[in-house]
Structure 1
Amino acid sequence: MSSRDIIIESLTVGPIQTNVYVVGCAETGEGVIVDAGGDPEGLLGLADEHDLKITKILQTHAHIDHVAAIPEIKEATGAPIYLHPDDMMLWQAAPQQGQMFGIPVEQLPSPDKELFDGQTIAIGKLSAEVIFLPGHSPGSVGFHIAEHSVILSGDVLFAGSMGRVDLPGSDRNQMRASLERISGLPDDTRVLSGHGPATSIGREKQLNPFLKQDW
């Protein structure tokens, strides 16, 4: 997806088919990586294709399939890593997570910046609002770029489904509240999630059983 102002590119990586993103400001050439879950060369290649300098590494959460490429991306770019503090236990346990899922990863470098609800993240002249959406993990967040009607939702909302709530640190009640919150965004908001195809808030309000009824 691209327009005069915004660049959004994605790759699907790893054994769990995780969507990872490069988001950039076309005017300033500043870019971010959202969820460095794998294929660091591919992510950096996407940035290079659009002449983007990666200035931030933004994490929707700290499950292994979203962080496995962090060491390489950090080393290559020197960009600060942003993570919600409630996911620090998962972050620190990345090597153990990797053993469980067959994704080898070394100990991750420490995050540089804390994310919090309502925070504004600058991507050149673009602005992404941090929306705290716990439930799939304790510190899950989404990045809402309202001007371009898009949210990077991590593993909270999927096309026709939602993120798992049977993992350590997951919470069904928090997920219900987070789904209610995200469903309050405008219907035309494009949802770019951590797994599966893109969708929209309006489509999910019509078709997604987890937004339509109690579960």
Structure 2
Amino acid sequence: MKFERFIVGMGEANGYIIYDENTLEALIIDPGDEAAVFAGYIQKHGLKPKEIVLTHYHYDHIGAVEALKEKYNCPVSIHKKDVEGLKDPNINHSFRGYRKPVSITPDRILSDGDVIQAGSVALIVVHTPGHTPGSICLVVKDENIAFTGDTIFDDDLGRTDLEGGSPESMKRSITNKISKWEDQVRIYPGHADSATMAFVRAKNTEYLDLLK
């Protein structure tokens, strides 16, 4: 298994491509903008995209979805509680003229515990509402790796003051799910750099305050 991070768009969002080195089947996670950047990497490595997986519906994580779906004819998946937000441009919104509002209808509706497969690579869906109702983390099976979207970052947590956000849901997600991850699990968030859970437990004050 290999993966690559791409920092794209005005919001400097992280998108990822994860793939099986043998079959070259790939998953695209949160392609927020600059479809050509993702496409260039796919072409360079001869990858075969199988699915576009979204951790949530916000504009800075979905901007390249339409172009990549059309180019590779691959399905788009999102948690069932974020479907309406993805389809409604008044919710996923254009930000300060960043781009025109978009309405995307997903092809696959995800639930907690679902598995998304590309070759030998398997992502386990963990429903972590709080930033949005359908926010998810994607845990790589048999690896200490989790793609966390805007749920948790290296030194803070995702905002809960936007439409669909919920401090109560965030607290439950962190307490009941993310806090159970072992120290060696490395999170790859939707913005900023990766970190181990050991680092999070030492430095992430929002995480620590919430658990109190």
Instruction: Classify the TM-score, shorter chain.
Output: over 0.9
Unmatched runs of 5 consecutive residues or more in structure 2: none
Q: Which residue of structure 1 lines up, in the alignment, with residue 71 of structure 2?
A: 76
2:93·2:102 contact (CA, 8 Å) conserved in 1? no
Counterpart-to-counterpart distance in 1, 2:201 and 2:155 = 10
What is the match of residue 182 of structure 1?
Answer: 178
Which letter maps to 1:143? L
Q: CA RMSD in A?
A: 1.5
Q: CA deviation at 1:79?
A: 0.4
**Taking every aligned residue pair, what percent have the same amino acid on both sides?**
28
Please, what TM-score do these two structures have when normalized by structure 1?
Answer: 0.92
Instruction: Output the CA distance in 2 between the equivalents of 1:164 and 1:44.
Output: 30
State the partner residue of 1:3: none
Task: Please state how far the C-alpha of 1:129 moved relative to its aligned partner.
Answer: 0.5
Q: Give the letter aligned to residue 14 of structure 1.
A: G
Is the CA contact (8 Å cut-off) linking 2:148 and 2:190 kept in structure 1? yes
The answer as to whether partners of 2:94 and 2:101 remain within 8 angstroms in 1 is no
Say whether residues 1:211 and 2:207 are aligned partners.
yes
- Deviation at 1:101? 3.6
Please give the residue correspondences for 1:1-215 in structure 2 after superposition, counting only pairs within 5 Å: 6-94=1-89, 97-105=92-100, 107-180=102-175, 181-214=177-210
Instruction: Identify the range of structure 1 (40-49 vs 57-66) with the bigger mean alpha-carbon deviation.
Output: 40-49
How far apart in 2 are the matches of 1:95 and 1:172?
22
Q: 1:178 to 1:201 in 2, by over 3 A?
A: same
Q: Secondary structure at the match of 1:76?
A: helix
Unaligned 5+ segments in structure 1 are: 1-5
Instruction: State the alpha-carbon separation in 1 of the partners of residues 178 and 86 from structure 2.
Output: 24
Structure 2: distance between partners of 1:56 and 1:21: 12
Deviations along 1:114-167, whole A, 9 cap, x unmatched? 111011111211111100000000000011003221000000010110111100
Given the two structures, how large is their TM-score scaled by the length of structure 2?
0.93
| Count of aligned pairs | 210
In the TM superposition, what is the alpha-carbon distance from 1:91 to its structure 2 partner? 0.8
Shift of 1:95: 6.2
Q: Secondary structure at the match of 1:178?
A: helix
Residue type matched to 1:61 in 2?
H
